[in-house]
Chain A
């Protein structure tokens, strides 16, 4: 694995207006280029807020964030060309076809002409939706929508792919398909940062994780190292040991 740091975060803070506690409370971490980084945490821990700041969707109150050496706030437009974000919702236009959704988001990523057409073709292949290119998304199953949502994130061949719980509520076949696709993209050199509540999934996919609770990183490192450090048999045990068993709203 490449040891070059692609994302560096130092002392990041964010408090929403009216909130008593910060959503992100002094996070500092570094992510290696080509890594598969899992961001884990209970509900309301600050994962999505942190991810939103890394993707430029939200401004931090303070702290520094750099991607490939560039400050995110100062170079947002340039950085946006290098990354892609797959939100928790499928984020598709239901009355457009799969091909039209890809064409639109591809155009918004700056692709056009033959390069756009080629990427649409490739993405339909990756998602195994070739036969549904001209079908409206509102006729798709949940799994098909997830697959399409994922490949829209790949249309611009990003250096860094951010995914916010990409496998929520889908069938095992589609989930398996998404695992394989992400592994393949990661093997080709794409840096992947993703959040999930599925510990088995994170254990199988990630080489490095950070567990966040109450806006702070409470543990980070390689999974094997963390498990042995805390004497846990698996990631779920480790997660519950660090975040407790109290149900979060």
Chain B
């Protein structure tokens, strides 16, 4: 008998939800918009698994060996995107000031000749006065973050030091050959053949399945905004509950032979289904719509059990929190304000709006107070670090604990109201 009442209650709630177009728009279109905007807007910032790619213009007015080596050195790393097409310094300066270019390396004419002369001067075979001053300049968009500017400056200095070292070796070899008569085998301009003592430093991540620890913008945005949307259900859930109280239908139900758990479960189950549909919808957007719009495709790893556990636990937490808000607020305005604001704060603290890895360390520590952060960490464990159901057990447990605490308080309050 109670099962029939439960089914009737679920059916009633589902009809009310389906007919509330504004709430459905809020629950599905809002996260869709956020995922599309944030994934595409932050695509480059997360590019190549979270590595920052610096676009850089190189204006080579030297045309000699130094210019070529600088261009090759920048082109051969995965951190720079080199553009050598501009050929006029004034134009480059103008483009930088307009924000069309971010960085420009200016290699003046005669750089190679002067560099060789200065290398010879270093070896004492000529003097510095004859060699002349030599300066390679870096222009940067003033809006560029200081840390990014420092990275490019140090990269340019490292490249120049490399060229200097090679030129000095060549000069040293020439002097040694002349003094000893032994052919060392390094001709002018050939020091590049010298084998490096240290191989190129590579960054290594330690995911469970050897994956990259940094998410792409899509791997960050899709689960983040899906969780945000799941928690945003707090608003329609609590408003529906309060309306039921205000319209008197809850009072009528109280006078009927209906257990309180039937009323509560009848509300929770349809919202749980909505949460699951939200998540599946967002996954499909990440996997199929975003690549179609020029973004990266969402890679979801190989942990379907973990994904299911996280969506169930996150949904339980969201619904428990919604019921808590619903049972303590007296008006729908209160529920909308308290529910909406607290969800936005959870999102801001929990790394939804600003990715956790760009936060300063004290803010990263603060993320642990947000249930959305637990969910997001769990999804990143699976999507990015190649984790499975075992890896997300701590996060899922935290979400279930949060759900249990919220639900217990809400149920006590509801039983008190329903008594």
A163 to chain B, nearest CB (A): 12
A108 within 8 A of B: yes
The size class of the interface chain B forms with chain A is 20 to 34
Main secondary structure of the interface of A (DSSP, over half): loop
Known: A91-B247, A93-B16, A100-B15. 19 other contacts (CB 8 A): A55-B255, A56-B255, A77-B257, A80-B257, A83-B255, A85-B251, A85-B252, A86-B252, A87-B248, A88-B248, A91-B251, A108-B5, A108-B9, A109-B256, A109-B257, A110-B5, A110-B257, A112-B4, A136-B19
Number of A-B contacts defined by CB within 8 Å:
76
B414 to chain A, nearest CB (A): 14
**Could you tell me which B residues sit within 8 Å of A by CB distance?**
1, 4-5, 8-9, 11-12, 15-16, 19-20, 246-249, 251-258, 419
A224 within 8 A of B: no
User: Given the complex of chains A and B, what is the CA–CA distance between A215 and B406 in angstroms?
Assistant: 38
Count of residues in A whose CB is under 8 Å from the partner chain: 33
Name the A residues within 8 Å of B5 (CB-CB): 107-108, 110
Q: List 15 A-B contacts (CB under 8 A).
A: A56-B255, A80-B256, A80-B257, A89-B247, A90-B248, A91-B249, A92-B247, A92-B249, A95-B16, A104-B8, A104-B9, A104-B12, A107-B9, A110-B257, A152-B252
CB proximity to B under 8 Å, residues A85-131? 85-96, 100, 103-105, 107-110, 112
Q: In the bound complex, do residue A100 and residue B12 qualify as a contact, i.e. CB atoms below 8 Å apart? A: yes
Q: In the bound complex, do residue B12 and residue A91 qualify as a contact, i.e. CB atoms below 8 Å apart? A: no
Name the B residues within 8 Å of A109 (CB-CB): 256-257
Of chain B, the residue at the smallest CB distance from A100 is B15
Of chain A, the residue at the smallest CB distance from B19 is A95
A57 within 8 A of B: yes
User: Given the complex of chains A and B, what is the CA–CA distance between A93 and B249 in angstroms?
Assistant: 7
**Could you tell me which A residues sit within 8 Å of B by CB distance?**
55-57, 59, 77, 80-81, 83-96, 100, 103-105, 107-110, 112, 136, 152, 162
Name which of B11, B16, B252, B258 has the most chain A CB atoms within 10 A of its CB: B252
B245 to chain A, nearest CB (A): 10
Q: In the bound complex, do residue B254 and residue A57 qualify as a contact, i.e. CB atoms below 8 Å apart? A: yes
Contact of B4 among A84, A86, A107, A136 (CB under 8 A): A107
Name the A residues within 8 Å of B9 (CB-CB): 104, 107-108
Name the B residues within 8 Å of A108 (CB-CB): 5, 8-9, 253, 256-258
User: Given the complex of chains A and B, what is the CA–CA distance between A35 and B411 in angstroms?
Assistant: 39
Main secondary structure of the interface of B (DSSP, over half): helix
Contact of B255 among A59, A84, A94, A96 (CB under 8 A): A84
Name the A residues within 8 Å of B419 (CB-CB): 59
Q: In the bound complex, do residue A57 and residue B257 qualify as a contact, i.e. CB atoms below 8 Å apart? A: no
User: Given the complex of chains A and B, what is the CA–CA distance between A83 and B247 in angstroms?
Assistant: 21
B236 to chain A, nearest CB (A): 12
B266 to chain A, nearest CB (A): 10
Q: In the bound complex, do residue A95 and residue B8 qualify as a contact, i.e. CB atoms below 8 Å apart? A: no
Of chain A, the residue at the smallest CB distance from B253 is A108
Q: In the bound complex, do residue A94 and residue B4 qualify as a contact, i.e. CB atoms below 8 Å apart? A: no
Name the B residues within 8 Å of A112 (CB-CB): 4
Q: In the bound complex, do residue B16 and residue A96 qualify as a contact, i.e. CB atoms below 8 Å apart? A: yes
